Amino acid sequence: MSAPLRVLVTGAAGQIGYSIVIRIADGTVFGKDQAVQLVLLDVPQCATVLEGVVFELQDCALPTLHSVEAVTDVQQAFTGVDYAFLVGAMPRREGMERKDLLAANVRIFKAQGKALADFAKPTTKVIVVGNPANTNAFIAAKYAAGKVPARNFSAMTRLDHNRALGQLALKTGTTIGDVKNVIIWGNHSSTQFPDVTHATIKNQPAATVVNDNAFLQGAFISTVQKRGAVIIEKRKLSSAMSAAKAACDHIHDWHFGTKAGEFVSMAVPSDGSYGIPQGLVFSFPVTIDAATKEWKIVQGLTFDDFAKGKIAATTKELEEERDDALKACDDASI
């Protein structure tokens, strides 16, 4: 068993927390030979619930779980972490857009960015799940600057990516393993652009196999864009099982690298690729090198006018969110 990795989950008393911790603890994310020290953070009001989660993890008798601690103190939570799953935040309810959460949640990510700078390892890798995820990651990276590099911050669009794979498999009567290289561009919001231009199904161009352009430019895109809202409408709670699974896929691939010839969607600070403003946390297709654990934005993809319009819309939304978040941070007394 390798020396333990210290892995933090915030919001661990919540519904995503409950689905995510078992996958981290049982070796699904970091492998069956990798011990994990799990740190579960939530707010003090949730301390008892958190204790129950710790007890359940102990009762799972997992060989890969080196230790598990429940904490409500930010310094204790962030000290020495190798990976941080930042889930803890207010979820939206029916009828809200994710950006409606901005003012409430941005304060959390400002404080946690500072805590990462002060207490985490400079090599810590961070996935932000709490919404609005891209902009929260932007804010956390800003307040960790100088200590933890911006490229160690990411936001989750893997759930959207997985939703897109699922919709294509359903439409074509194939299985998930047959569908590769869909791309989610932009924001984890209803402006995101799920793009199949470079996707394949059974190694053939997805557009050829689907053979229904109206679907690909219509229902496919809107289903993926609005899936989160539909789940809320039906469950009266937001996606949790699928969100936890996607967060684990995201960190698994960051830790182990992507497969040859395949890319995944991950929201990362833009380096200016494809004309996206520098620093904006934007979902791109990325490949990850297993040895260095560094992501690289896939280069050289081309866009038609339809795609250009979609990418412009999601970029504009993210720029507006960024500006609102910066203003909220200036106003926040933390």
Ligand X SMILES: NC(=O)C1=CN([C@@H]2O[C@H](COP(=O)(O)OP(=O)(O)OC[C@H]3O[C@@H](n4cnc5c(N)ncnc54)[C@H](O)[C@@H]3O)[C@@H](O)[C@H]2O)C=CC1
Annotated binding site for NAD(+): 11-17, 42, 105, 129-131
The stretches of the chain forming alpha helices (DSSP H) are: 15-25, 47-59, 74-78, 102-119, 133-144, 158-172, 206-210, 213-217, 219-235, 241-256, 305-331
Cis peptide before 269 (omega within 30 of 0): no
Letters for 190-229 (x = contact with ligand X by CB under 6 A, - = none) are ----------------------------------------
Residues in the chain: 334
SS3 318: helix
Whether 161 is a known active-site residue: answer no
Distance CA 208, CA 222 (A): 20
Parallel, antiparallel or unpaired: strands 34-41 and 2-10 = parallel
Distance CA 10, CA 143 (A): 17
321 binds ligand X (CB under 6 A): no
Q: Which does 113 bind (CB under 5 to 8 A by kind): ligand AKG, ligand X, none?
A: none
State which of positions 190-249 bind ligand AKG (CB under 6 A): 228-229, 231, 238-239
Among residues 130, 186, 194, 269, which is the contact residue for ligand X, using CB under 6 A? 130
92 binds ligand AKG (CB under 6 A): yes
Among residues 8, 29, 38, 46, which is the contact residue for ligand X, using CB under 6 A? 46
Q: Which does 11 bind (CB under 5 to 8 A by kind): ligand X, ligand AKG, none?
A: ligand X
Binding residues for ligand AKG, total number by CB under 6 A: 10
Among residues 37, 124, 131, 135, which is the contact residue for ligand X, using CB under 6 A? 131
Q: How far apart are the first and last CA of the chain?
A: 41
Binding residues for ligand X, total number by CB under 6 A: 29
Largest Cα span, the chain: 55
Name the residues that contact ligand AKG, by CB under 6 A: 91-92, 98, 131, 159, 228-229, 231, 238-239
